[in-house]
Structure 1
């Protein structure tokens, strides 16, 4: 059955960086998106850590808008990359908890089927968003697979709505579902959503590990097959280590890599700190990726090194040193 003319409202949860990418310079991206799709697109206030992007339109227009969203994110994520392989994108769809059972299925079979059909990695959150009856569905992959996954999920949502209109739906009635609102959300005591994001990053990278070669802002220097060194600006170390060493501990656990942070070395005069990464090539690559993503997502420090390229000279017979590329302000 063709549902292209049915009215839909889709909501996507975004961090500040993603929201900035969608908006674009001088609001150029979101302005073009509205003009090209003629879709009603709104973005919640930037005052909150999490922002909601809402799309309201017919299904056919909504899917066109979702595809364009993916194109924007893909372009932004790969703008400075030199690899011919694309860095994956992630869209997080907000879904009422009353239809999550239909998405997951008995023993997770329905969710597995969605992954196979779309080619995307799809992960449902275990808990509802704060002060709501809605959960998140995180979809990671290239734009085509992410768009296909969302189309399949919409099909399930439409079926649930039709069943409810016929009195055949067994879940909580839609009228009783509390919608998520960032301004009313409070972070649970003892739990940080920022820390939870590390696990999401690891999932996205491991999913695409066999098909991409991520471009890193700070790349490690190979010493031998099982040892590499990574240098990052001092001001980002707090974000990398985390409170009580929690964040770097999670990076070690998820990557399986032995990470040693030098307290003081010859690089200090350059305002840099050295991280020694020891493990297999895959473990080291994973750790380097997570360190870079941690800086991008969690560091609030202003850059203190010049934007022009800085080269650290190396004498013969000495351990190879890093060449640090230009530092780009996070969006």
Structure 2
């Protein structure tokens, strides 16, 4: 096709891949596929959603840059609408940002970050969106997740700038695309007991290797990884992918003085507390900064196999902190794989 300069870069055909969770995909598809059909018709972009029983799906958007920007705008506004609907019966006053995850060939990420982080800083400052490039490649691929958070308008401007960078710096070498794996039931060990992850809970697993331990230990089920979310009553927080905790950029640190602080407590097995704290406290500090919540981890109690985590902040701060802690736990659990 003939190239011409348009807003956001050359008006050439581009393909952008998005990584979404099942609930997000359901929102994009809509009842009987009506929402995605409308998005295709109004944007002029081709929107394809990967098949399979996977906790994550790939949404591929292809078309001229103008059509891609329209499709992104519709997706961003749909996600904002979902957030508003979730908050309608909630005491939370601060609205979480809209978050999208792009899947970008690792060979293009250097250009996106820029020398000393100059390019990504420029994109953040000029658009008002938070942009985070994952340090690790997605499993079995040469692609990385790029997480964008902010208002729909900020996200659209951010995507435009990312598209320009991708056009100016094509991928080098062959790209192995990320393909989400079907939902599996990984087995983990905690306190000498094996557990399988089923939905949001870890269920004791009758593995031959743990039968001797079971004779000596009381079989207590793992606490649910998805705790009740105070900002979205009646909903449990889903388990999230390994990149989510590392990529998601939340609100600024500190409690919002206009909203009364509340407290929520979680119980985490000692075996998994390390993945929440991170080396020299890097992960817990990251979660504190992203969520804006105060997070205290109780000291280990002799004879107890669990640790208490106390989260203090606004309902929105607490929700984001829980979300990020869940994502760290999921990263640790799925990283071990099935034994």
Normalised to the residue count of structure 1, the TM-score between the two structures is: 0.62
For residue 137 of structure 1, report the CA deviation from its aligned partner.
0.7
Kindly provide the CA deviation profile for residues 247-304 of structure 1, in whole angstroms up to 9, marking residues without a partner as x. 99559663342367xxxxxxxxxxxxxx99476x57x8634542367689999xxxxx
Task: Note if contact 1:141-1:208 (Cα within 8 Å) is conserved in structure 2.
Answer: no
Q: 1:143 to 1:17 in 2, by over 3 A?
A: same
Higher helix content, 1 or 2? 1
CA contact under 8 A between 2:311 and 2:321: conserved in structure 1? no
Asked if 1:87 is matched to 2:125, the reply is: no
Report matched runs for 1:186-197 at 5 Å.
194=241, 196-197=243-244
Moved more, 15-24 or 5-14: 15-24
CA gap 1:142/1:60 in 2 versus in 1, 3 angstroms: same
Higher RCO by CA contacts (8 Å cutoff, separation 6 or greater) = 2
1:107 aligns with 2:151: no
1:180 to 166, 170, 178: 178
2:83 corresponds in structure 1 to: 77
Tell me what 2:70 maps to.
Answer: 64
CA–CA separation in structure 2 for the residues paired with 1:291 and 1:23 = 27
Q: How much has 1:24 moved relative to structure 2?
A: 2.1
Out of 26, 34, 41, the position equivalent to 2:32 is 26
User: Retained in 2: the 8 A contact 1:198–1:290?
Assistant: no
Whether 1:41 aligns to 2:47 is yes
2: distance between equivalents of 1:285 and 1:79? 14
How many residues get paired? 252
| Counterpart in the other structure of 2:128 | 119
Query: Tell me, what secondary structure is at the counterpart of 2:85?
Result: coil
Quote how far apart the aligned CAs of 1:70 are. Answer: 0.3
Q: Which residue of 1 is the match for residue 295 of structure 2?
A: 257
Shift of 1:50: 1.7
* Deviation (angstroms), 1:241: 3.6
Alignment correspondent of 2:140 = 131
Q: State the alpha-carbon separation in 1 of the partners of residues 98 and 269 from structure 2.
A: 25
Aligned partner of 1:310 in structure 2 is none
> What is the root-mean-square deviation in Å for CA atoms of aligned residues?
4.2
The residue aligned with 1:204 is 250
Instruction: Name structure 1 gaps, 5 residues minimum.
Output: 162-170, 214-221, 232-236, 261-274, 300-331
Q: What is the CA–CA distance in structure 1 between the aligned matches of 2:121 and 2:254, rounded to whole Å?
A: 17
**Partners of 2:40 and 2:328 in 1: how far apart?**
27
Structure 2 distance, partners of 1:130, 1:145, is 29
Determine helix, strand or coil for the equivalent of 2:172: coil
Normalised by the size of structure 2, how large is the TM-score?
A: 0.61
For residues 121 and 69 of structure 2, what CA distance do their matches in structure 1 show? Answer: 22
- How far is the alpha carbon of 1:242 from its aligned partner? 6.6
2:158 equivalent to 1:158: no
Q: Alpha carbons of 1:137 and 1:150: their partners in 2 closer, same or farther (altered >3 Å)?
A: same
- The answer to whether the Cα contact below 8 Å between 1:94 and 1:135 also exists between their aligned partners in 2 is yes
Out of 146, 155, 158, the position equivalent to 1:149 is 158
| Structure 1 residues 211 and 122: CA distance shift in structure 2, 3 A | farther
**Residues 133 and 247, structure 2, Cα contact 8 Å, conserved in 1:** no
Give yes or no for contact 2:297–2:309 (8 Å, CA) kept in 1: yes
Q: In the aligned structure 2, how far is the partner of 1:89 from the partner of 1:208? A: 20
Q: Distance in 2 between matches of 1:21 and 1:15?
A: 10
Greater Cα shift, 36-45 or 6-15:
36-45
